[in-house]
Amino acid sequence: MEKEAVSVHIPQVKLGTQGFEVSKLGFGCMNLSGAYNKAIPQEEGISIIKHAFSKGITFFDTSDIYGENHANEHLVGKVGELKKLVEEGKVRELGIGIVPYSPLGRGFFGGKGVLESVSIDSSLTAHPWFTAENLEKNKRIYGNVERLTKKHHSAPPQLALAWVLHQGNDVAPIPVGTMRDRTILGPLLIHLQRL
């Protein structure tokens, strides 16, 4: 018997004082162009962005430093919505709310460096959190997080994002991801319904 699809509504929040509304949960696009891992094929990146948009994500974070030769901005710009947002005056910097960067601890809450090793292609190999001398500390901290997630019937990424999302109505975190239905987007959207 097939599982019935779960319909999820992601709430919108106003960021700052200009009336700009975005989804309460954003999507960090950096890793689509390679940062923590190798860049993924452009078609796959576009597919991931479209999938997130179809689930109600309207807040996509990009930067000209993500990927070589502005690759990430070009990738995100291929959804077609970016141009409309610029024309509507909604792509700007001043008066916005809080946009927590890397709310999943650069993959830590997904088990990176604890349950799975860090890829040699990843920029994380130079990050102090993921160096050999910190791996045992990470395992202890991650163990504490896992015990807490069992209490709340969730996964570590869900718990981390739920905590960030509860910090205020003007907060829209931007977790970074590459896979459509991994531990972040699919289960998180279901978990958000309970909040």
* pLDDT for position 1: 46
pLDDT at 14 over 80: yes
pLDDT, tens digit (0-9, with 9 covering 90-100), for 58-69: 888 887 777 777
Is 66 an annotated catalytic residue?
yes
Confidence of residue 185 (pLDDT cuts 50, 70, 90): low
Task: Spot the catalytic one: 36, 66, 101, 142.
Answer: 66
| Range of lowest pLDDT (10-14, 75-79, 180-184, 188-192) | 180-184
Cβ 22 vs Cβ 59: under 8 Å: yes
Q: Higher model confidence: residue 180 or residue 86?
A: 86
If you classify domain 12-194 with CATH, what class do you get?
alpha beta
Structural domain boundaries in the chain: 12-194
> pTM of the full predicted structure?
0.53
Closest Cα to residue 109, out of 48, 75, 158, 147?
Answer: 158
Per-residue pLDDT of 106-130, as tens digits, reads 888 888 777 777 777 777 787 887 8
CA distances from 82 to 16, 42, 71, 87, 173 (A): 20, 17, 15, 9, 19
